[in-house]
Amino acid sequence: MLVTTDYKDEAGDGFTVIASGPAPSGRTTVELRLPLLDLNDRQAALNRAHFRAQGITAFNLVSSPGSGKTALLERTLDEFAHAVKCAVLVGDLETDCDARRLRRPHAPVAQITTGSSCHLDAAMVAGGANALDLEGVRLLFVENVGNLVCPAAFDLGEAVRVVLLSAAEGEDKPLKYPPIFKSAQVVVVTKLDLVEPLGFDLATALDNIRRIAPQAKILTVSSRSGAGLSDWYAFLRTTLEAGA
Ligand SMILES: Nc1nc2c(ncn2[C@@H]2O[C@H](COP(=O)(O)OP(=O)(O)OP(=O)(O)O)[C@@H](O)[C@H]2O)c(=O)[nH]1
Ligand SMILES: [Mg+2]
């Protein structure tokens, strides 16, 4: 026998309790269903308030696997983070490869391994942030799991969502994966040094980004040659000064 009852909590949000049983064993199973994204949004709001109270601006970096998130952060830690204290949380299903690449004496870094989850969620970020010494940190970069789909739905409590698109992926990705681009404050086209060798049509890519994400600021960079990185650092500085 299944008994399903809907309740409302003190905040007026709904949840469902499903009780089944008693089974032949005499046990009754009670299942509590809460809307997953509601829970995430609540934790994200807590994260956002916590970061703001600490004077930290959080960036959520999202892209396909291999678009150059860690490479951009490596350069940022080397060239920007001496003037402005930065910290990084980096998410992957397995390994601490990226955390080892990013580790610097002047920047706290922690790896989050998600097991089978294809995106970070707000609770993982809260746990990761607790593991970091955030004393004096002004910028927290959260490198999401490489995935152009699922991270779109999960607010982490960031102030700014940065979506990366590399020259190796093709011009059509904003058209094919619109939700993530629509949710971005900034789109960074990466691997600018590969535009020519790969025959990447940069003008079309920029048009596609503008069509899907007219709200987004667009930057073009190469973490290999350093092209465009001064614009990225200027953007970080402006965002900090604006107190986002
Ligand atoms: N030519 C060139 N290669 C780059 C650039 N940025 C990153 N790469 C290379 O691209 C590969 C992937 O870069 P990562 O920084 O690891 O990419 P990622 O987005 O962090 O990857 P995941 O964490 O696995 O999602 C590495 O071999 C980098 O050296 C760039 O600007 N130009
Ligand atoms: Mg990475």
What does the pLDDT look like over 149-176, one tens digit per residue?
999 999 999 999 999 999 999 999 999 9
Of 84, 46, 93, residue with least CA distance to 65: 93
pLDDT, residue 20, reads 65
What does the pLDDT look like over 173-200, one tens digit per residue?
999 999 999 999 999 999 999 999 999 9
Q: Is 193 left (phi over 0), alpha (psi -120 to 50) or beta?
A: alpha
Peptide bond before 22: cis, by omega within 30 degrees of 0?
Answer: yes
Q: How confident is the model at residue 37 (pLDDT cuts 50, 70, 90)?
A: confident
CA of 97 to the centre of ligand 1 (A): 13
pLDDT, residue 70, reads 98
Q: What is the mean pLDDT of residues 95-117?
A: 97
- Asked if the model's pLDDT at residue 106 lies above 70, the reply is yes
Q: Which atom of ligand 1 is nearest to the CA of 73?
A: 15
Largest CA distance in the chain: 69
Which residue from 70, 98, 113 has its CB within 8 A of the most atoms of ligand 1, so it is best to mutate?
70
Residue 199: its H or E element: none
pLDDT, residue 31, reads 66
Structure tokens at 132: 């970091």
pTM of the model: 0.88
Q: How confident is the model at residue 27 (pLDDT cuts 50, 70, 90)?
A: confident
**Chain-wide mean pLDDT for the chain?**
92
Q: Which of 25-39, 53-67, 193-207, 209-223 has the lowest mean pLDDT?
A: 25-39
Which residue from 164, 166, 169 has its CB within 8 A of the most atoms of ligand 1, so it is best to mutate?
166
| CA distances from residue 61 to 18, 30, 91, 117, 146 in whole angstroms, order as listed | 38, 38, 10, 17, 9
CA of 226 to the centre of ligand 1 (A): 13
Superfamily classification of domain 37-241: P-loop containing nucleotide triphosphate hydrolases (3.40.50.300)
How far is residue 146's CA from residue 143's CA, in Å, rounded to a whole number? 8
What does the domain layout of the chain look like in residue ranges? Answer: 2-34, 37-241
What does the pLDDT look like over 109-151, one tens digit per residue?
999 999 999 999 999 999 999 999 999 999 999 999 999 999 9
CA of 199 to the centre of ligand 2 (A): 24
Protein residues near ligand 2, an ion, with CB under 5 A: 69-70, 98
Q: What is the mean pLDDT of residues 73-88?
A: 98
In this structure, the residues whose C-beta lies within 6 A of any atom of ligand 1 are 63, 65-71, 98, 146, 190-191, 193-194, 222-224
Q: How confident is the model at residue 209 (pLDDT cuts 50, 70, 90)?
A: very high
- Asked if the model's pLDDT at residue 34 lies above 80, the reply is no
What does the pLDDT look like over 3-12, one tens digit per residue?
667 776 666 6
pLDDT, residue 29, reads 73
